[in-house]
Structure 1
């Protein structure tokens, strides 16, 4: 099991609902937090992401679901990594950047260049690896590889000489559907997932490069930790970030969204050295500071948005958090 950013599910809800399906139901069946369908930064298990794709495809009778999702995803979902790639001097530099910082989006996955796949001179393989011991499932693989192909197309402003595509699984949709999506021959049951391209492509320069923008994006990426933090704590915090002020922050409701029993969730948090109350307190403190220091929102409204019973509770918490009243904190900020 590895962790991936929920941005990888971009457009999944849109595609599923366009086919008449219920994306939330599929997420719960896959053990995936429902919030992951609408948030980019939530860390989720790669197995859950792959499972939700397979469950939805089977239930909807849509064998090309992965291709449909991959066709609609936006290159910008890679965030700062997409910026660094777009402003790299050449294709080779963009791939090197992707290889170095892919962990920001998928901890154990990666991109690399294979020399002369099948021993063919003048051809290289742009290989997407799924991590040691991972058995890639067809729908998620189709989605990922089509997004990879479209990302290269975007970087180069159009067709780039794709010779063929290798996929590790047998076709789950008609072969013609795959070849229409990729615009090239697709080979199945191969040892790796890769795009076979002319080796000369690597030296091709990219247009519109801004070195200053690239340096800023790389500086941000270089500060990202390679090891994931507490997984369950991150999931709970992401749900609370979405729910605070708009939905329920009760333990039972959050546990339901995460598809676990409340007691199980409490045990998982305890194993990471946290409690539900402590995570909620941190989310409220962060949100309270933002409201108090950057807005003129009345204190009663701030209290309501934080889910407090009254303004007096906000005042007590502010004293505990910062040793100041909300009014004093706001005055100091100004």
Structure 2
């Protein structure tokens, strides 16, 4: 399992409360970070989301819980990726963008075209899920696959010719509930979660797109994708920027996000002339500068957000980074260039 944006929990609170449950208690028991049910920008483990969905379905006696949550979600939860999708020229472009940039929202989760699992030359599959061999719990698959189906309906302006739905688990809700929501036959206990669609779907036009808007969204998404020439250091920095204030920022945690071992991550960084502590320091410095100059957050909260224990610690870092205190940075005083000396990963933490 990996880290995902908490936007994947959109709709959970609404459905839980409709059923008379305590959404905050469910989130707390699943070790979700504070605010994860309401703030879509936090990073949480996908196993945490799975635990919340499975626990809610069981405790609230609602076997179609994941399906109900999907009905509360919409494309906007994908942020800039949603903008790119809405302005894509064709369905194949939208699927390409999803395949390339979905990592911004969920590590290891993918949506991609595959040959028809039933062998029809007139049909292709849209596969949803994790890499082969990684099994996700039923409620997570139900939620994600129905969200994908509804996103395609939205993008293509209505029915898109869905043939059948392939689901890897046994039905956890009444079969008729699945067929009612997908509008077609559902096959169970299949090798992967797949929507079987007409082969010509890939060439279908998405109406109303704007080229400039699309290019701006893609440019932003590209900025979140490290360049090949600095692959590891760039990917580490992106992972740290997403984890600051929401999850652990140890080398072990980042290695897990990037699906490599900590030792391998250290070797790759060393080959690029980087140390993990230096990349972490850079990520903290950039986030602190943004929060100090563009927000009114208290210094204690800024310190916590960048992974430091107190305002005093933040100011010690600020003196090293910019030659002045955090308060002076906030007041608009001039700052020195960042100190490039090596940083201990444990100092002042």
TM-score after normalising by structure 2? 0.72
Mapped to 1, the partners of 2:199 and 2:52 lie a distance apart of 36
1:132-171 alignment to 2 at 5 Å? 132-171=132-171
Q: 1:16 to 1:231 in 2, by over 3 A?
A: farther
Q: 1:118 to 1:190 in 2, by over 3 A?
A: same
SS for the counterpart of 1:37 is: coil
Q: Which structure 1 segments of 5+ residues have no match?
A: 241-257, 259-264
- Equivalence for 2:332: 330
Mapped to 1, the partners of 2:239 and 2:27 lie a distance apart of 17
Q: 2:245 aligns with which of 238, 262, 280?
A: 238
Mapped to 2, the partners of 1:125 and 1:266 lie a distance apart of 39
Mapped to 2, the partners of 1:267 and 1:85 lie a distance apart of 34
SS for the counterpart of 1:35 is: coil
Q: Deviations over 1:90-116 (max 9, x none)?
A: 111111111111211222121111233
Is 1:44 the counterpart of 2:51? The answer is no
Mapped to 1, the partners of 2:17 and 2:11 lie a distance apart of 10
Is 1:191 the counterpart of 2:191? The answer is yes
Q: Which structure 2 segments of 5+ residues have no match?
A: 227-231, 256-261, 263-274, 305-310, 336-349
Give the number of the structure whose residues are more often helix, by fraction.
1
Post-superposition shift, 1:148?
A: 0.3
TM-score after normalising by structure 1? 0.75
Task: Provide the alpha-carbon RMSD of the alignment.
Answer: 3.8
Contact 2:241 2:287 in 1 (8 A): no
Q: How many residues get paired?
A: 301
Post-superposition shift, 1:306?
A: 6.2
- Equivalence for 1:67: 67
Q: Which moved more, 1:128-137 or 1:81-90?
A: 128-137
Q: 1:315 to 1:217 in 2, by over 3 A?
A: closer
Q: 1:158 to 1:324 in 2, by over 3 A?
A: same
Post-superposition shift, 1:218?
A: 1.3
Q: Deviations over 1:127-151 (max 9, x none)?
A: 1131243212110100000100011
Contact 1:117 1:123 in 2 (8 A): no
- Equivalence for 1:112: 112
Mapped to 1, the partners of 2:313 and 2:245 lie a distance apart of 23
Mapped to 1, the partners of 2:86 and 2:333 lie a distance apart of 43
Q: 1:232 to 1:156 in 2, by over 3 A?
A: closer
SS for the counterpart of 1:113 is: strand
